[in-house]
Chains A and B, each alone.
Chain A
Amino acid sequence: MINTMECAVDAQSLISISLMKIHNSRTQRGGIKLHKNLLVSYVLRNARQVYIKEKYAEIYRMQQYEEVMTVCNEIQELNPLDLDAEDADDEEQARATCCSEEASLCSSACHRGTAQSATHARTASPLFGCSSPEDGSREPDPYYYRSCCMEASPVSHCEQLPASNTTHCNKTTVLDLDTHVVTTVENGYLHQDCCCDALQSPAKKRKVEFDCCISDAEELSDFTAARKRAKREECSYSSLDYTDTSNISNLISIFGSGFSGLLSRQADLEQICSKQVLASLGAWTRAIVAF
């Protein structure tokens, strides 16, 4: 865990400073200094890790909100029996690994939707699909990407949003990495556009990433409790502008009453959700939603 407290500049500045140093070293007298460039590459890697974590956290906050949207849309498909526990480690791993290359490669404006399956908790979405190259523990798993890319929605890689994808991704083929079962998920399964960069090695275990609901959610109550947790966290971390606090309490009460509550309030939620989504996600997402 890198302590960034003592650093005067942020990760992004460090990255650009480091790249500048590497660039300048090419023209320095005496040739490229291997030692110095190696050390600079370590700073680059550290800065990128922090940058990605920060980006991830930001997207996580976004995603937390999006979860609500997708849950609204997936009410019918909920099947609590499939929710298996996932290791906390893996969750952490996924969080750390996602947003890796992709976030840095794509512009910051790109919001990566995360695939989310309320129905198949164990079939984690590939997110951005890759750990940083230095993590030797990650193994590449191209098959997963291929399968989901094939069924990918026609939306371009850099324009993905959960809410919008629900309208496009009606059907996705997913390979469960744990059971090696290929399943097809309908309705609102948001897969990550695996911008499968060939260089990147995807995370070993996919997760329904941002979901806190994954941890030990084998029972309905746990699931709802997790949702509540997620919602609360979302409320506290989110950068979205929750001007309408009544909406928040509405959502919480919906979860509190179980799935039946969701069913009855689905229509209301959808309305609220989409409004919130549109308000926060910017013009280009609106375009997708409209489409």
Chain B
Amino acid sequence: RHCRDNRVHYYLYRHNRTNSNDTAMLCTGTYGYSSLFPYPSVLSRYISLSLPPSFPRYSPADIISTVEFNHTGELLATGDKGGRVVIFQREPESKSEPFSQGEYNVYSTFQSHEPEFDYLKSLEIEEKINKIRWLPQQNAAHFLLSTNDKTIKLWKVSERDKRPEGYNLKDEEGHIKDMSTVTSLQVPVLMPMDLMVEVSPRRVFANAHTYHVNSISVNSDYETYMSADDLRINLWHLDITDRSFNIVDIKPTNMEDLTEVITAAEFHPHHCNLFVYSSSKGTLRLCDMREAALCDKHSKLFEEPEDPSARSFFSEIISSVSDVKFSHSGRYLLTRDYLTAKVWDLNMESKPLETYQVHDYLRSKLCSLYENDCIFDKFECAWNGSDSVIMTGAYNNFFRMFDRNTKRDVTLEASRESSKPRAVLKPRRVCAAGGKRRKDDISVDSLDFTKKILHTAWHPTENIIAIAATNNLYIFQDKLNSELH
């Protein structure tokens, strides 16, 4: 559990658990591409149990299901399908090793959720971590909330670098001493020890959700948080686990009348009374908790009218919002549906401010994407610290960034080949089948739909991004431009 050593430790851990020849890879470095985008050059380092890259096998439990920076960006948490949480910590920059500055290394690993069985409904409850949210740091310890489909847990992550030595009743290993050997009394003394990271569950918020929890969001009052499932949103106090308040309930009296579900929810970053939730119908609702105890009636409804000429079999599916994020300023909302990312102004409900086509070339492939279930993939989206760039994932391990000011965009790939040490990430291009093709372009038909980037995160203040590509985590950093634009 040593900090310094935990890189190796982490990968060994993963190796044993999966019991296969998996490669767990963490690469950190800087990214960039000089011509197109203000974030030049990737410098990446591989830390892996090196196995031939031709072995892509991994256990399904290793698939990363959520990625989240804490409020300072010092820590990065990932959750996976197996219910584990891995926390990375950024190494302090040092002059002596210029190329290892700002690298993220494993800080702690723990099992957050275990599979459960609901005997009443004869249902297995998956241990997959759906979301992790950090609490703002208030003392030396760090706190985070992690949730699976049903239960939210508050974890305390603390460091221990001293331990008491010199007990009277027990020896160094903790065994009770034979009283006859005790001849004098001593006062235990705190002695320095190798740094140890301890994680302990402080609260378990259970039995409040009938449906699958999809979001959690910590309020700016640092006292409450909300959890949202398909039909309801509950408000909790961080210290109270046996009670929660239901603030949104869209369950119809007759389930046959069900037309939409809640897909994501988030508190406003500054106003503790405001929150937003998105629905499967592509609408956003801003609610004010001061207005009523039950916020079924929205304060604002953000909806873009559907183009009737564009209706297809899958119109409802592709308009379902998979993620919603407030901008850091609190002025804008970023939403992601299957093919687009949209920026909304809180003051304009009738239509989004900006619409970005993430992978419109998939529009003609919706049928096959429906057949192989890819159309149900829920992509997340992220703002950069200054709210000038938005990022979201796509297929073939591609992820996209859109600069809102310059209107430029770029497609990058998170892959081993393209992330060699100090390599510059090349912009990628997807061309329509049969279209004019440049070298290194990839045709739509060659895209690998099993390689999807659903979860991405952006450092709160710097140009550092974390990309989860199935079971691999990539961290890219803009070395040359550390400050945000």
User: Which residue numbers of A lie inside 8 Å of B, CB to CB?
Assistant: 1-4, 6-9, 11, 14, 17, 21, 29-31, 33-36, 38-39, 42-43, 46-47, 50
Contacts and interface: CB of A to CB of B under 8 A. Distances in A.
B23 interface: no
B364 interface: yes
Contacts of A33: 212
Contact of A35 (B128, B261, B311, B368): B261
A17 B370 contact: yes
A230 to B, nearest CB: 29
B363 A6 contact: yes
Interface in B194-244: 211-212, 214, 230-231
A273 B259 CA distance: 48
Contacts of B125: 30-31
A60 B258 CA distance: 34
Given A3-B312, A30-B125, A31-B118, 20 more contacts: A2-B315, A4-B312, A6-B363, A6-B364, A6-B366, A8-B368, A14-B370, A29-B124, A30-B124, A30-B128, A31-B212, A34-B231, A35-B320, A36-B376, A38-B258, A38-B260, A39-B280, A39-B317, A43-B314, A46-B312
A43 B367 contact: no
Contacts of A43: 313-314, 316-317, 370
Nearest to B371: A17
B320 to A, nearest CB: 6
Contacts of A46: 312-316
Contact of B311 (A3, A8, A11, A14): A3
Determine the interface band of chain B, counting residues with CB < 8 A from chain A.
35 or more
Nearest to A36: B376
Contacts of B118: 31
B36 to A, nearest CB: 31
Nearest to A134: B259
Contacts of B370: 14, 17, 43
Interface of B: 118, 121, 123-126, 128, 149, 211-212, 214, 230-231, 258-261, 263, 280, 308-317, 320, 363-364, 366-368, 370-371, 373, 376
A1 B214 CA distance: 33
A11 B15 CA distance: 47
Contacts of B317: 39, 42-43
A38 B230 CA distance: 11
24 contacts: A1-B308, A2-B311, A4-B312, A7-B312, A7-B313, A7-B366, A8-B367, A9-B371, A14-B367, A29-B126, A31-B121, A31-B149, A34-B211, A35-B261, A35-B280, A36-B376, A38-B261, A39-B320, A39-B376, A43-B316, A43-B370, A46-B314, A46-B315, A47-B313
B123 A31 contact: yes
Nearest to B124: A29
What are the 10 tightest A-B residue pairs by CB atom distance, in nearest-first order? Answer: A42-B316, A30-B126, A31-B123, A8-B367, A34-B230, A46-B313, A39-B317, A7-B367, A35-B261, A2-B311
B291 to A, nearest CB: 27
A268 B118 CA distance: 74
B84 to A, nearest CB: 17
B309 A3 contact: yes
B230 A35 contact: yes
Given A30-B124, A35-B280, A3 B261 contact: no
B312 A2 contact: yes
Given A30-B125, A35-B280, A39-B280, A9 B314 contact: no
B280 to A, nearest CB: 6
Contacts of A35: 212, 214, 230, 261, 263, 280, 320
A41 B364 CA distance: 21
Contacts of B373: 21
A34 B308 contact: no
Contacts of A39: 280, 316-317, 320, 376
A33 B373 CA distance: 13
Nearest to A24: B373
A97 B371 CA distance: 28
Nearest to A18: B370
Contacts of B364: 6
Contacts of B231: 34
Given A6-B364, A8-B367, A14 B313 contact: yes
Contacts of A4: 312-313
Nearest to B256: A133
A11 B258 CA distance: 23
Q: In the complex, which of the residues B214, B317, B364 has the most CB atoms of chain A within 10 Å of its own CB atom?
A: B317
A17 B259 CA distance: 21
A55 B230 CA distance: 36
A17 B367 CA distance: 11
